[in-house]
Structure 1
Amino acid sequence: MQDSIYTLVPPLVAILVAIWRKNAIEALAVGLLLTGLMQMNFAPIEGVVASGSVLLSVFQGVSNQRIIIFSLLIGALLMLIKHSGGVNAFISSLNERNLVKNQRQASLLPSLIGTSIFTDSNLSMFTAGIASQNLFDKFGLSRARLAFLIDSTCSPVSILFLINGWGAYVLGLLDGYQLTDTVGILIETIAYNFYPIIVLIMVYYTAVTNKVYGPLKYASSKIVETSEQQVISNGKARYMLVPMVLIVLVTLLLLYITGEGDLRRGSGSFAVMWAVIFSFLILCVMLLLDKVFNIKQIVQHSVTGIKNLLPAVIVLVLSFAFGDAVKAFGTGTYVSGIMSVEVAQIGLAPLLFITAGIMAFATGTSWGTFAILIPIAVPLSIETGLPPAFLVAAVLGGGVFGDHSSPISDSTIVASIASGCEHLEHVKTQLPYTLVAGLITICLYIVTAVILF
């Protein structure tokens, strides 16, 4: 059964469950259990034990441990930034300086904020959206346009500038393939990750020219009031700016140190984890010295933030486990062998991009998609001789494309909340842009394969 057509069953079942249940956790759990059962010839006890062993092994890897710690701690950090008033103080400082005087500047503001804060897409969207709501109302711009600008900036930037959880996560998925330079491969994906680049071009074209198309042109933008719009008083902008800047600087410094002078060879998971820990501790000291919170309040807010990210961490752990399971089952090896023969090289990247898009659209998240398809893309690149970064980039871009288009995606929901836009209107007005960007991306992958490979 191993290394045969039957190895396709677990990922296909996982995809079907994702489409049916619209739940990444259920899909990954079913896929993991089915892989264990098939490996043990459907012996129930042995199959469950095998699946459990793979799941437990996730926690044994040092890199995985670091990523899990980072993912939980970033929730605590973001909660402290929010409740300390750091985000709202930053927003107030922008308004006080009266830096925005026309529609073009109003449109550029959320785009620039979204581009600058790439350590966490949700924080980026909330900051850009809340900072711009009143300005968009003032200059007669629809909230749907604001939702499009922040949604189409923050996620693409996060998948391009991978000094964040996405980068650490993908690095974890790339482990175990005897790749000599996983950080280098991750950096190289930027040049091949056409979808987010195209979407960012669309964003800045819209902001600079003030032109919109399709349903967005006629958006009514019924404003939705949310609790996120409430301003917390007595905050200071440095409560947001200092930890965000520190995460970037410390990550780069530790990549340089662990890579012995070469950022590409540094330990991504080590760098990001300690950057977040350091930033979290510095923020805690700042809040204690300024008497914003006492130790008990810091612990309470941190625990709440960690709890909020538990579902995402469960997806993370199951993603690693399922990726390891299908890797050991030989799914990637089998698919790469079939596709290298049956699918022309120019069609591999477009096929991976489309498949990733469908999966992410169905589940509302790209992380589970990466876990299923990266273990297929890497062996496929080894089999065909195509650069790993080329095919991995197709998976990453496809995941963001599906995530962008899905009405159940957390990013589209957060963008609607942060902009005060009715959710279905945001989905309807953004979809034509994502589809056009997706079609252009497919064409570019074909052209790139023809020219370069």
Structure 2
Amino acid sequence: MNTNPSLNAEVIEPGGRNSLSNRSRSILFYCVIMVGFAYLSTQYSAEEGYGFVSLLPALLTLCVAIYSRRALEAIFAGIISGLVLLNPFEVVAGLGDLSLNVVMNETIAWIVLVCGMMGGLINILERGGSVVCFGETLARRIKTKRGTMLTTCVLGMLVFIDDYLNSLAVSASMKTLTDKYRISREKLAYLVDSTAAPVCILVPISTWAVYFAALLEENGATEAGKGMSLYIDSIPFMAYGWIALLVVFLVAGGILGNLGAMKQAEARAQKGEPVPPGVILDGFDTSNIKKVSPTVGLINFLLPMAVLVGASVYYEIDLLLGALTASLFTMVLYYWQNLLNFGQLVDSMLDGFKVMLHPIAVVCAGFMLKDVNDQLGMTPYIIDALTPLLSKELLPALVFAVMAAVVFATGSSWGVFVVSLPIVIPMAQVMDMSMPLTVGALLSASAFGSHACFFSDSTVLSAQGSGCTSMQHALTQIPYALLGAAFTFVLFIGLGYAFA
């Protein structure tokens, strides 16, 4: 068994799929699909609207992902098909424009820098022996498998400031312990992911709260300067966050058993194979980890984490500035203790950045797919199609269901609401529906989409941090996410009638 605690994971496809005949069939299949999209492009136009056809690239992405078990390839299949649908003669130019838009997008730049710097910081902590010391400290106090899973959930709740920080820091610090108690990497990814976005929406001191509070003010949901007040009023109605948190603690406590693909993952782990088969853990170099005393190692782990959280709060919940401050602090701290020299510190940062290239690529491709879906008018079409079915009583439940589906299809838990809020907020105001309840439904949809989508940022980073692929994580997590979504939908129906 490969026990390298790397963050990077890549699946080797079985030999059968790499055979010439299978590749030929795959090429033929995709050619037929693209010819079909090219034909549809002659039947529809941007001026007339694409209607139901606007959903097809997202559906193709989902089908390819389920078949191939690979996220990046599936997303690009959706991107190319969408570009063919828009204009089959401008696919290359369209792909170039999408790439430039992604590179020039401020949000993407923020994600690239944050993920890269977080990877570099965790790599320094790994090579300086701090992560090992933190894991050993927990191991001396936690003696059961249930205790390990519950501790993972509690740590996830404590790291509430940002889902990126949660996904990477908690998984990196718990892998050794979960391997010891034969907990699959897929279950670790589920425990981490379920305390990422679902928890972040419930805490007003988080990147999610700051972003959505500003967005609510911009779209007239409340008066200027009162966006955060409305957000706080909406927290009790963010049903998916509360239910997802309840479900993950039921799973960690052994009350709710393994569902779907998680059964196979846990059965494999019980045989002493927590790392999924076919996964190559080739990221961080942990062959020369420094040996330090448990007390020093624990301090060297907790201090950078405290600086990271404190600096992010100081800079108005900006994880980029927090990560930069924590990285500089850690480099000085480790250099002063002679744990790593300057060259080793720089190499650790660069190597950590390189480890994060694959998840960054997946997230960037997801933004490209969202751009294609926006050009096709997918989100307005879905909302317009369901508007005749809306009533005041059903508004919260349908807003949750529709927006959850849109976020799941696009992988963008933040960007999609720039398009949808100008439609949903006036609709709620006209129907005189409780605004905190409406916002709670919107944030619940955003959290579900981030939690369940196989190429959303938190899903990709949770898988990366835990040592499995995003598809392995998504397929084992989806039964729990759907269970939470079903209860959330029913609860919003009840709340809709209660507040109508």
Amino acid at match of 1:84: G
User: What is the CA–CA distance in structure 1 between the aligned matches of 2:358 and 2:473, rounded to whole Å?
Assistant: 27
Deviations 1:383-434 (A, max 9, x none): 5227573453243232255359x9xx6578568759xxxx989977x77654
- 1:328-339 maps to which residues of 2 (within 5 A)? 330-339=377-386
Residues 368 and 20 of structure 1, relative CA distance in 2, 3 Å threshold = same
Q: Is 1:126 equivalent to 2:172 in the alignment? A: yes
- 1:36-435 maps to which residues of 2 (within 5 A)? 42=87, 44-45=89-90, 48-95=92-139, 98-100=140-142, 108-118=150-160, 119-131=165-177, 134=180, 137=181, 143=183, 148=187, 151-161=190-200, 167=208, 184=228, 190-205=235-250, 211-213=255-257, 221-224=270-273, 232-235=289-292, 236-255=297-316, 271-327=318-374, 330-344=377-391, 345-352=395-402, 355=405, 359=409, 368=411, 370=413, 374=417, 377-385=420-428, 387=435, 389-403=439-453, 433-435=480-482
Where 2:319 maps in the other structure, the secondary structure is helix
User: What is the CA–CA distance in structure 1 between the aligned matches of 2:372 and 2:56, rounded to whole Å?
Assistant: 14
Where 2:273 maps in the other structure, the secondary structure is coil
Q: Is the 8 A contact 2:135 2:176 kept in 1?
A: yes
Residues 8 and 188 of structure 1, relative CA distance in 2, 3 Å threshold = farther
Q: Is the 8 A contact 2:194 2:244 kept in 1?
A: no
Residue 277 of structure 1 and its aligned partner are, at CA, apart by 0.9
Which protein has the bigger helix share?
A: 1
Structure 1 unmatched ranges of 5 or more? 256-267, 360-366
Report the TM-score, using the length of structure 2 for normalisation: 0.65
User: What is the CA–CA distance in structure 2 between the aligned matches of 1:108 and 1:342, rounded to whole Å?
Assistant: 42
Q: Which of the residues 442, 449, 452 maps onto 2:489? A: 442
**Length, aligned pairs only:** 412
Residue 382 of structure 1 and its aligned partner are, at CA, apart by 3.4
Residue 307 of structure 1 and its aligned partner are, at CA, apart by 1.7
User: What is the CA–CA distance in structure 2 between the aligned matches of 1:308 and 1:213, rounded to whole Å?
Assistant: 33
User: What is the CA–CA distance in structure 2 between the aligned matches of 1:78 and 1:282, rounded to whole Å?
Assistant: 13
Residue 79 of structure 1 and its aligned partner are, at CA, apart by 1.7
Q: Is the 8 A contact 2:49 2:377 kept in 1?
A: no
User: What is the CA–CA distance in structure 2 between the aligned matches of 1:168 and 1:30, rounded to whole Å?
Assistant: 33
RMSD: 4.7
Q: Is the 8 A contact 1:357 1:402 kept in 2?
A: no
Residues 383 and 80 of structure 1, relative CA distance in 2, 3 Å threshold = same
User: What is the CA–CA distance in structure 2 between the aligned matches of 1:313 and 1:199, rounded to whole Å?
Assistant: 26
Residues 183 and 89 of structure 1, relative CA distance in 2, 3 Å threshold = farther
Aligned to 1:17: 61
User: What is the CA–CA distance in structure 2 between the aligned matches of 1:77 and 1:175, rounded to whole Å?
Assistant: 33
Where 2:104 maps in the other structure, the secondary structure is coil
User: What is the CA–CA distance in structure 2 between the aligned matches of 1:346 and 1:15, rounded to whole Å?
Assistant: 25
Aligned to 1:362: none
Residues 52 and 225 of structure 1, relative CA distance in 2, 3 Å threshold = closer
Report the TM-score, using the length of structure 1 for normalisation: 0.71
Residue 250 of structure 1 and its aligned partner are, at CA, apart by 1.6
User: What is the CA–CA distance in structure 2 between the aligned matches of 1:307 and 1:165, rounded to whole Å?
Assistant: 27
User: What is the CA–CA distance in structure 1 between the aligned matches of 2:232 and 2:126, rounded to whole Å?
Assistant: 31
Aligned to 1:264: none
Amino acid at match of 2:245: L
User: What is the CA–CA distance in structure 1 between the aligned matches of 2:472 and 2:113, rounded to whole Å?
Assistant: 35
Deviations 1:152-203 (A, max 9, x none): 3543334422699984997799699757789748767754443342232234
Q: Is the 8 A contact 1:87 1:240 kept in 2?
A: yes
User: What is the CA–CA distance in structure 2 between the aligned matches of 1:213 and 1:131, rounded to whole Å?
Assistant: 20
Deviations 1:61-101 (A, max 9, x none): 44543333222222212222222221111122334xx5447
User: What is the CA–CA distance in structure 2 between the aligned matches of 1:175 and 1:326, rounded to whole Å?
Assistant: 23
Residues 148 and 313 of structure 1, relative CA distance in 2, 3 Å threshold = closer
**Sequence identity percentage:** 17
Q: Is the 8 A contact 2:171 2:188 kept in 1?
A: no
Residues 323 and 133 of structure 1, relative CA distance in 2, 3 Å threshold = closer
User: What is the CA–CA distance in structure 1 between the aligned matches of 2:462 and 2:322, rounded to whole Å?
Assistant: 28
Q: Is the 8 A contact 1:10 1:34 kept in 2?
A: no
Deviations 1:323-359 (A, max 9, x none): 3454455443343333222445254234236626864
